[in-house]
Amino acid sequence: MNFILKGNICYSRIPTQLETIENGYLVCEEGVSKGAFPTVPEKYSRFPITDYGDSLIIPGLCDLHVHAPQYTFRGLGMDLELIGWLNAHTFPEESKYADSSYAHTRYDDFVGSLQSSATTRACIFATMHVPATLLLMEKLEKSGLVTFVGKVNMDRNSPDILCEESAVASLTATSEWLKKSTFKNTYPIITPRFIPTCSDALMDGLGKLQKKYNIPVQSHLSENRKEIEWVKALHPDARSYGAAYDKFGLFGGDAPTIMAHCVWTEKEEEALVLANGVYVAHCPQSNMNLASGIAPIRRFLNQGIRVGLGSDVAGGCHLSIFRAMSDAVQVSKLHWRLVNQDDAPLTEKEAFYLATLGGGSFFGKVGSFDEGYEFDAVVINDTAISDPRSKLSLEDRLARIIYLSDDCCVSDKYVRGEKVWER
């Protein structure tokens, strides 16, 4: 657990600046970073060194929003909008996870792909099925990754094949699942699918379970305009979509919360997001694929709202958070050009920050190489995409990886100081 990695080190401290050290040394002691240095400090001189040569070493990437059972049909139904896509593809596929043997095979595929990616931390939706959800958690535990996994709750406005019998049945199953979720690196997270599929009684009970077990929450917020109108009809007393979660105690504050998308949030709702410390999981590819819109990330950052990135498979087609970074930059340019020219586009440095320290902070002291951060590191061998004709700066090499890599350059991966994967 005490060792040093040598290579070209890149990490963030603030969104607008990239910290780089050519041929630097990254020190791990008992699973925690002791810092990155141009030379080895004397007090660590006895630590063994692994020399990665000209490779880049970056913090592990964080995926704040992904649906494990949807991995099987990524790339399908991209001509549909959200509600139609859920009915045509998502609900029929997720119903198959009632069969644990089916879940076993499919979750092997998902976990294997996640493990070989640059992602070291993730917040994951499973399905409503307790045995399959526990099976996913067991597989993730063996992978060495650090994850939050949610048994999905839904007791209304869903097809019979994927709708829990009642709020009581859903809450009973959730309690059973929570009692069995005793893993080292794989944690439970309360997961109402979204307001339209959860009755008031279910939401109230989930709020009570959250307080009893003191665990975080994940769901969807203001993704699609039709969805927002649906929520207004279901909760006419709530001043916003976010307020509908908040009245049940499932919107930040004492319950650390991630809300995916936030494409069509309004000022009052954004004020509530900020006040309650809710994280926004920005899922740019999904928002494009399902024609949801462009989330105003620059506006969120200017307000101080916490933002990370999500792959949102299978609304997004790729698990790669490198791809999420490049998509985030590109859609921000469209937002600036077509929606609001006061909202400057994101830079690659800012997107890298969102993928590491921005999203990592949801997991604690995660996402940087400064002293005291949990030691999550990814080694990138970019030989296949490097330009032999010129010597690129580390910043330019990282930018090229963001736009071209799609995880193909990942060679080694460490989580909490343990090597969990190597090519």
Q: Which fold has domain 3-59+368-422?
A: Urease, subunit C; domain 1 (2.30.40)
Which of 231, 143, 250, 135 shows the shortest CA–CA distance to 189?
A: 250
Domain locations along the chain: 3-59+368-422, 61-363
Whether the pLDDT of residue 50 is over 90: the answer is yes
Q: Is the dihedral of CA 148, 329, 21, 389 positive or negative?
A: positive
Alpha carbons 254 and 36: distance in angstroms, whole number: 34
DSSP H stretches of helix in 164-292? 167-180, 200-213, 225-234, 241-246, 267-275, 284-289
Section 263-275 average pLDDT: 97
Q: How high does pLDDT run on average in the chain?
A: 96
Evaluate if residue 131 carries a pLDDT over 70.
yes
Of 109-113, 243-247, 252-256, 348-352, least confident by mean pLDDT is 252-256
Mean pLDDT, to the nearest integer, of 131-138? 98
pLDDT at 406 over 80: no
Fold match between domain 3-59+368-422 and domain 61-363: no
pTM (two decimals):
0.97
Please check the confidence at residue 405 and state whether its pLDDT lies above 90.
no
pLDDT digits (tens, 9 = 90+) for 14-30: 999 999 999 999 999 99
Q: Confidence band (pLDDT; 50, 70, 90) for 407?
A: confident
Q: Give Cα 383 to chain centroid, integer Å.
A: 28
Name which of 90, 88, 318 is nearest 193 in CA terms: 90
Question: 115-119, 251-255, 356-360: which range is least confident on average?
Answer: 251-255
Task: Give the length of the chain.
Answer: 423
Classify residue 47 by burial, with Cβ atoms within 10 Å: 0-12, 13-18, 19+: middle
Question: Within 42-99, where are the H helices?
Answer: 82-85, 91-95
- What's the distance, CA 11 to chain centroid? 18
Q: What is the SS3 assignment for 308?
A: strand
pLDDT of residue 384: 85
Distance from the Cα of residue 366 to its chain's centroid: 13
Q: What is the pLDDT of residue 385?
A: 84
CATH C-level class of 61-363: alpha beta
How much is the average pLDDT of 289-293? 96
Split at pLDDT 50, 70, 90, the class of 254 is: confident
Question: pLDDT tier at 104 (50, 70, 90 boundaries)?
Answer: very high
- Percentage of the chain lying above the pLDDT 90 cut: 95
- Distance from the Cα of residue 420 to its chain's centroid: 19
Look at residue 185 and tell me whether its pLDDT is greater than 90: yes
Q: What is the pLDDT of residue 380?
A: 97
Q: Say what the pLDDT of residue 269 is.
A: 97
Residue 190 near residue 210 (C-beta atoms within 8 A): yes
Residue 42 and residue 62: Cα distance in Å, rounded?
32
Q: Cα angle vertex 352, ends 349, 355, to 5°? A: 155
The pLDDT of residue 387: 73
> What are the backbone dihedrals phi and psi of residue 227, each rounded to the nearest 5 degrees, phi first?
-60, -45
User: So what's the pLDDT on residue 388?
Assistant: 64
Q: For the chain, how big is the Rg over CA atoms in Å?
A: 21
pLDDT band at 12 (very low <50, low <70, confident <90, very high): very high
